[in-house]
Structure 1
Amino acid sequence: MKKNSQTKTLLEAQKRTVTGKKVKQLRKTGVIPANVFGPAFNSLSISVNHKDFLSAYKVAHETGIVYINVDKESIPTLIKGVQRHPVNHDILHVDFRKIDLKQKIETTVPIEIIGESIAVNQLGGVLLKQHDHLIVEALPQDIPQHIAVDISQIKEIGQEIKVADLVKSAQYTIKEEPEAVIVSVIAHKEESVTPETATVAPEVIGEAEKAEEGTAEGEEAPAPASAKAPASKEEKKE
């Protein structure tokens, strides 16, 4: 990943012909398979250096422009999706969305909570976040890295911040319902304590399995159901 004098985020790439299961070998060499797609654009299969991509992603995230340099062409893109391994979280594949710098686009922008709420810190309320991202419309170069939501204006339990309460911007438009709630503060619900007289012993799941395992290891097996045992007062007599 390189940055030029105008702080553009550049990412070198190569056209990729390897597909399917064979891309696993690419990853072993420190290369990530990726695709570039977009309206009126033929999808392009590429590969990028793993370290270079991480450097670009650290700067651009999902909202900054990344210029893909491939075959002497510089393609402006946004990082649209990063697919990771479910266990070790290694990057498996990346999708880049080709953009037109002169056309407004809609994309999602993460929310950043700032400030402190009296309702939370002093009144013991619980902050409930109902949105992590908001859809915005803007020219690619005007897309904000995040949208700040200042919770210091929430001073009482029950108050909330809606889309309509956010500071307006001349560079982008939030394409969400104005009445959509972003965050709110609700009362803390204390867990009810069950009186000791009403305490019921918890059911132990897997007790039968444990008994079987114990028997297999040489422990004495419990008496069979047909064996005579002292009658219980609660046992029904046939």
Structure 2
Amino acid sequence: MNQVSLKARQRTDTGKQVAKALRRDGALPAVVYGSGESSTPLTLDYREFEGFLRKTRGESVVINLEIEGMEDKKALLRDIQRDYLRNQLLHADFQQIRMSDRITTEVSLVMIGEPIGVTRDGGVLDQSLRVVEISCVASEIPEHLEVDISELSMGDTIHISDLTFENVEIVTDGEVAVVSVLTPMAEEPEEEEVDLEQEEPEIIGQAREDGEEEDGTEDEQED
């Protein structure tokens, strides 16, 4: 289990205007709650928190909140509010935990190996699930879960019900598909080009040429 420390300060002022002012000053408003204690509004360093997100992307970690003037708190990051139009972080929510508590959280799935259905048979690997919900003791939270896919043949699928991990119970529905090896789509044959040139129509009859005389002679008259 990976643990990361974050520095924080307790704050007493709350509200939208306070939050905006904090962000203008390079800080991020946050809150920590849980373990039977009242929620505590916090202030984080904006850039430090961005670095934390980059460092722990795709991994589940227990955070040691080092709150100035208070005892450290063990916590999980539960929610991040963002302004996607401005690409800006707005607020972070932390849930305080005890390391002996059994908790529910999400961890990422990492595929291990190369399926024989891909390397031997030319199939296409399709990973349809990348994050799974689990239940375990806080001290046993894995950074991620590894799934061995090396024996997958063409047409095979691994479902949640096929996965088992030590000290971890999977909460996600067992019928959910995780990864498959699909048959590649056949290429459509190229259409033959149609010859747009048309042969000249056959001439059935020809018009008489100008000045052509009709067959026969005029009757001669005797004087």
TM bracket (short chain): 0.7 to 0.9
The aligned counterpart of 1:83 is 81
Given the alignment, which residue of 182, 198, 202 partners 2:178?
182
Structure 1 unaligned segments of length 5 or more: list them: 1-6, 199-238
Tell me how far 1:196 sits from its aligned partner. 6.7
Once the two structures are superposed, the pairs formed by residues 119-158 of structure 1 within 5 Å of their partners are: 119-154=117-152, 156-158=153-155
Percent pairwise identity: 28
- The residue number in structure 2 matching 1:11 is 6
User: Is 1:38–2:30 an aligned residue pair?
Assistant: no
Query: Is the radius of gyration larger for structure 1 or structure 2?
Result: 2
Mapping for residues 1-238 of structure 1, pairs under 5 Å: 9-16=4-11, 17-38=13-34, 40-58=36-54, 63-70=60-67, 71-154=69-152, 156-169=153-166, 171-190=167-186, 192=188, 195=191
Normalised TM-score (structure 2) = 0.73
* Alpha carbons of structure 1 residues 8 and 134: separation in structure 2 relative to 1, 3 Å: closer
CA shift, 1:193, in A, is 6.0
Give the number of the structure whose residues are more often helix, by fraction.
1
Paired residues, what number? 190
Q: 1:175 to 1:18 in 2, by over 3 A?
A: closer
Residues in 2 aligned to 1:60 and 1:122: alpha-carbon distance in whole angstroms: 35
Q: Partners of 1:167 and 1:98 in 2: how far apart? A: 28
In structure 2, distance between residues paired with 1:193 and 1:95 = 55
Which structure is higher in strand share? 2
Matched residue type, 2:74: P
Structure of higher RCO (CA pairs closer than 8 Å, 6+ residues apart)? 2
Unaligned runs of 5+ in 2: 195-223
TM-score by length of 1: 0.69
Q: Which amino acid aligns with 1:37?
A: Y
Aligned partners of 1:14 and 1:47 also within 8 Å? yes
Instruction: Kindly report the root-mean-square deviation, in angstroms, between the aligned alpha carbons of the 2 structures.
Output: 2.6
Once superposed, which parts of structure 1, at least 4 consecutive aligned residues long, lie more than 3 Å away? 54-62, 176-180, 190-198
Q: What are the Cα deviations for residues 37-77 of structure 1, in whole angstroms up to 9, with x where unaligned?
A: 22533222111012332344455556211122223221110
